[in-house]
Amino acid sequence: MRIPVVALVGRPNVGKSTLFNRLLRRRQAVVDDTPGVTRDRHVGLTEWGGRSFYIIDTGGWDPAAREGIEARIAAQVGEALGECDAVLFLTDAREGLQPGDEEISRALRRLPAAPAVLLLVNKADSDRWETHGHEFHALGWDDTLAISAMDGRGLGEALDQLLTHLPAGGSMRAPAEGIRVAILGRPNVGKSSLTNRLIGKERVIVDERPGTTRDAIDVLWRWQGRTFWLIDTAGIRHRWGHLPGFEFYASLRSVRALDRSDVAILLIDASQKLSRQDQRIASIVEESGLPALVLVNKWDLVAKSTNTMRRHATELRRALSFLDYAPVLYVSALTGQRLSKIAPEIVKLYAESRRRVPTRELNDVLREAIQRNPPRGGRGRRPPKILYATQVRTGPPLIVLFTRRGERIGDAYRRYLARRFREAFGFAGSPLRLRVREAGRRGR
Ligand code: GDP
Ligand code: GDP
């Protein structure tokens, strides 16, 4: 199922980050979330009414930029916006309608792909402000709603409305045979080099389906009778890549590439310090739920002594702790070092991500884990009573834990259970998600 993408646009200070953070906080119950890891986010996966969508914050988009690099950015972001399924256009009830709002409104109307646009008049914390919203009807968007990103007022209604504009979720993944592999990483880590090296000389460029952008090219790779499609996002590279707005653009392309893939490869440059951009891309990979393989490329450039690799691995794990389930290979696209290990690894990760554990086996492990280390109740609460577990989904594996009254299970205990499940069943390379549900009266 393709996950829809929703973009957040608006002048500075209208409340985009506030809304973004609020929407992401809804997404809880993910066991691999590691507290303390700063993830400088522009994109996040969220859920409303049982449906998931990506939300992307466009940050510093200024459609009014007329010249120079800013104008080109504006054009790029504008073009990228055309690939979104819907746009949340944020304005500020307290400031009232501003020229900048009109500018953005016009830019949105010019988008050739014409995504659905919801105009949200933010900071309507009380009825008093809600009435201020009316002047925004002048912009002429049918869906104009007053909200407060800060306290959540009106947000439910706005999201319900948003859902009516999102595609129900047909599949864009190729029915074609083969494993689809997205190759992600910041500019210059070696994505093109790796792709070319893996496939040899004949670089076959295919796939003209809609949704395939010029920037992500699908390349056929055959290895020992198996077929892979490499989705190379090397095109996400522009001279003005460091400017605001670019992150949104790059994130969108990464999300789109992951959407069409079965396995994600994250490329890191061994010769450079790990950057925020690496972390950001890694967090997009984690959210996609795809099985992931980390390749530390340009290993040939690193002067090695006895412990070089171990030290690097420790540092990498710390910086990308939320991707701790992903295996790491130290490679060189230049010399070919260890490239032969990539295909077998992909095949394994793909198979593991589809693994479905029979409920009986799962519950044997659960019972044993609880016996060995029973959950405790925090802060005067009674310990949660975990009745049983079942795997409700593969790719990524999702295990639901049923408790009598839907009691919360602390993060540390979730991690413990996830670890036990992993030890027993593998799921190598895949994020393992645990969710808690109430068993209800019928739950035993
Ligand atoms: P951005 O620049 O569009 O990302 O805007 P921010 O999210 O940083 O918000 C700008 C300011 O508006 C901050 O001081 C927020 O606390 C405030 N703000 C955001 N949403 C609301 C809201 O619903 N009501 C009120 N009163 N203030 C808000
Ligand atoms: P992309 O932007 O991620 O597609 O990166 P490229 O594939 O264009 O590579 C960027 C630069 O890094 C080029 O000059 C490559 O020759 C170089 N490069 C790529 N892989 C390696 C490697 O494993 N070792 C070394 N030394 N250089 C590499």
In short, whether 186's Cβ falls inside 6 Å of ligand 2 is no
In short, whether 154's Cβ falls inside 6 Å of ligand 1 is no
CA 379 vs. chain centroid, Å, equals 33
Q: 155-204, pLDDT tens digit by residue?
A: 999 999 999 999 875 444 445 678 999 999 988 898 888 988 998 854 54
**Span 26-52, average pLDDT:** 61
Atom of ligand 1 nearest to the CA of 12: 2
**Span 233-240, average pLDDT:** 56
In short, whether 333's Cβ falls inside 6 Å of ligand 2 is yes
Q: Whose CA is nearest to atom 2 of ligand 2?
A: 188
**Span 265-282, average pLDDT:** 91
In short, whether 55's Cβ falls inside 6 Å of ligand 1 is no
**Residue 78, amino acid:** G
Q: 324-366, pLDDT tens digit by residue?
A: 899 999 999 999 999 999 999 999 999 999 999 999 999 999 9
In short, whether 297's Cβ falls inside 6 Å of ligand 2 is yes
Residue labelled with tokens 């050739």: 112
Higher pLDDT, 444 or 276: 276
Task: Out of 188, 301, 302, give the residue to mutate to test ligand 2, the one with the largest number of ligand atoms within 8 Å of its CB.
Answer: 188
**Model confidence pTM above 0.85:** no
Q: Which ligand is nearest to the CA of 270?
A: 2
Q: Whose CA is nearest to atom 10 of ligand 1?
A: 13
Q: Whose CA is nearest to atom 11 of ligand 2?
A: 188
Q: Whose CA is nearest to atom 7 of ligand 1?
A: 15
Q: 203-217, pLDDT tens digit by residue?
A: 544 444 443 344 556
Q: At what angle do helices 411-425 and 359-372 cross, to 10 degrees?
A: 130
- Extract long-range pairs of 409-417: CB within 8 Å, 24+ residues apart: 409/375, 409/384, 409/434, 409/436, 410/375, 410/376, 410/378, 411/31, 411/33, 411/35, 413/375, 413/376, 414/31, 415/31, 416/369, 416/373, 417/31, 417/366, 417/369
Short-list 289, 409, 306, CA closest to 349? 289
In short, whether 191's Cβ falls inside 6 Å of ligand 2 is yes
Whole-angstrom distance, CA of residue 165 vs CA of residue 162: 5
In short, whether 334's Cβ falls inside 6 Å of ligand 2 is yes
In short, whether 146's Cβ falls inside 6 Å of ligand 1 is no
**Contact between 130 and 152 (Cβ < 8 Å):** no
Residue 42 burial by CB count (10 A; 0-12/13-18/19+): exposed, middle or buried?
A: buried
